[in-house]
A and B are shown apart, each in its own frame.
Chain A
């Protein structure tokens, strides 16, 4: 586990930057704006899972030191047009961390097209979607920061490419507490963040109608089985009148989704699902919906710490999932 990965006061983070450390930093925008320029990338979010439990802080920042690289990591912005090259341009041996502002064109682009990016799945790509304090949703914009220039952006992703020595390799894993429930198999005719028409166990139907009539708890995500990897798509809003359901990530045609089975005790389930041996974790993040729906404020979630985000990236966009990267 990366013991240095922690929530800390701004002066301490500033000292680490000044010392030339390479860092990935999460924090409220006002806090990030007080940090000096240096070898770091960042994204806005004030929710964190710490060793003491879930916390909200606008004053402190969560710092993940990046170590063990073969060459100095490359830090840069990527706009929507450049984002599809993120894996192609990643180091041959190593990994990349990407942070994308929520609700931006980059967010939509990545969510819908990342699986088709050149070299996708061949090179480890991990990261998260930047957000804002939920009280500020109406007036604040999620942003990312390029530390070397101190620039903030709400329309670009920020990427850190970390080359590793040839004898080391990075691996991405996820902890997903949700499993497909016993409801109907749901298949969508097209990809999208907003859906309606679908088939339910092969019969034509409408997801909004189904969720409403069946009294489904919409805090439970749709779950698809990707050759054994359970991938969630979280439900944002249901409008029975228009028959539309808004999602936090797109669904894809051809995949079979089911509403997740309820999780009785998130914290207990989480502890059971954690990897047995504490691996050498270089980076981790969890979903803000897990923080909200599972009442994690002040509750410990083991040694896996990091920001609670508006979406997690483990190659592609994930929802309600803990993502972590190990380096062996």
Chain B
């Protein structure tokens, strides 16, 4: 949804830019004497500046309250540990601090209840990776970086049951494109029956 809105806004602005450039280039086909025409365009500077400032300020006001960084006081329903290592993500509900933990977690299939607030604690054991969560239809829902020496907290809520995949979105070497992690989201009652 966010992607579509962003694309649509960009496309509308592109059309406006193309039309503006076309109009001005076309106007050069009928050259007129004097500097009045130059001054007429120069007089647009102040109104254009005001309009752009208002637009950008409104966008800031609309988007800044929605930034994805977690507040310290938020308590998640579930905590999931994620560690990136060339070239896979280990996803586990247990902490992953050693290579043995990593190997164990690679085989683990995490199951999360739909609608729960999940906190991913994301880090790396070698280079930078990008932990990007894709829904079962292949839409990118959100991401954070997996960085050695740091833990990034990513809060997400999954409403739709299904198998979710994490792809790496920070170039990390030869098999970067093959790096992935997986977890499942189950309807709450189905999870309770397990």
The answer to whether A and B belong to the same complex is: no
